[in-house]
Structure 1
Amino acid sequence: MTNRNFNILIRTPVAFLLLATMLAPTAGAQAAEELRIDHSIISSEIADHAVLLRERALLDNLSVDIVESLTTEVGPRRIGTEGDKRVIEWSQAKFRELGFDRVWTEEVILDRGWTRGEARAEILSPYPHNIVMTALGYSVGTEGDLVGELVEFKSLEDLEAVPEGDSLKGKIAFVSYSMSDFVPEPGQSEFVGYGLGTRARGRGHVVAAKRGAEAIIIRSVGTDNNRYAHTGSGYGYVDDVKKIPAAAVSAPDAILIQNMMKRGEPVTMKMNLTSEITGPE
């Protein structure tokens, strides 16, 4: 096994900034008290400072400027890539520019990697269409064309309700959960809907594999409606469960597939992912 060493920035200051954005739009100790902050974990001083940081953030565009700088000057930055090296350098420089006087890196051993490769997909029947697709992070490839009938599930919970074994043998599981359909309860953030969507993205491949599926696809998680597939990473594979390909399709393509299914005919997809996990299995 070959180990590759990379440095990674300790992002403690970011934690305070993130905390600040989560706090209510009031200031000082009163705000901290209203939020019932556990001062055995976070001191009153830090909590008060976080509230002030949040208030300050509402008055300028610094956070937007930082994100713009990151996406423009660095771009993609998956760990172990050249982009990862660039973002470490960028982060150190940015924190120093912001006035932090304690910025350092620590060594991280990376013994495996992943290549996204290319993704191609099309509906073969009943109505031929090209489909916009991208592999979920750390998905295995299809090793050539993979063809299967799609079986729709509205959520990961619906997929989990199917008996394990051969229930989905030869099929491609399709989780069509749409964040746009999520209706938050009073006082609940709409971003709860995002968390619900990432469940299938995170572990749907393992759940589907336990039921015999050949692959799993999900609707890209988000409220966008453009024909662009996007995704994060899965939570990894389980040693004693078959590794199956996992991918996301764009929102319009997910709707297209659902419209086909409403017509009552089997929907057959062909997909080809060249993604590959590198390093020890």
Structure 2
Amino acid sequence: MDKIKEVTEELLDDHVDDHVDEEIQRCFLKEDPKCFFVFAGAGSGKTRSLIKTLTFLDETLGDWLLTNRKQIAVITYTNAACDEISRRLHYKSIFSVSTIHSFLWELIKNYQSDIKAWVINSINLEIAELEEKQRKSKAGKTSEKRAEDIRKKQERLAKINTVRRFTYNPNGDNVGYDSLNHSEVVKMGSKFICAEDTMQNILISQYPILLIDESQDTKKELVDAIFTVCERHKGKFIVGMFGDTMQRIYQDGKENLSQCIPDD
């Protein structure tokens, strides 16, 4: 059935947008590499263009990527979308297809001391914010729920120093005091990418090309971090974003993304 679907898509392709695919391919010219943003409506063929782009990169850069042990990173929103893209790329090892959370965790998971420092600072800030809200409660009444949240965070903070290794499951619940939640991984990973030169060098060394599907729903922290890397490493890091800003499903994506894209 999958093969029939691919053949049917090819037969229905009127090739009217071939010039768009050719323009995307020119962004990977060694003489003048460029980042790009593909903005188009639902059903217009963005995913098809993404697959065509990846196939082109396999044909032109596949051997070089294999020889130099580098990959093209592809970020999409759901595991189902990851599976579909991987299947259409025949599961080739030069492609690393993952969700946002999996991508960030793979990038940062070995930096346990940095993770611990970030978590401690983050919990302290959260406790201070909750305590300030308690002090400002109307008529001097404090919130029982807020007090319970403070207690739980203080309890976790007291146990942090005993943690030898933080864990995280991108596809499940993370309930232990040594587990990171989804929000923490996104905020932490994005902060490390944005602020740490070492992390930026690791990112562009491992993934010189990063393509993002459904970019309108990509976490705004990660989008801002990626823009920072693009600015600091022009010519060494190519980012391609595919999206439809009229189809935002989640409110934690980058608002007005099409207006935030840098001029270059």
Same fold (TM over 0.5): no
- Give the structure-2-normalised TM-score: 0.25
- Give the structure-1-normalised TM-score: 0.24
Larger helix percent: 2
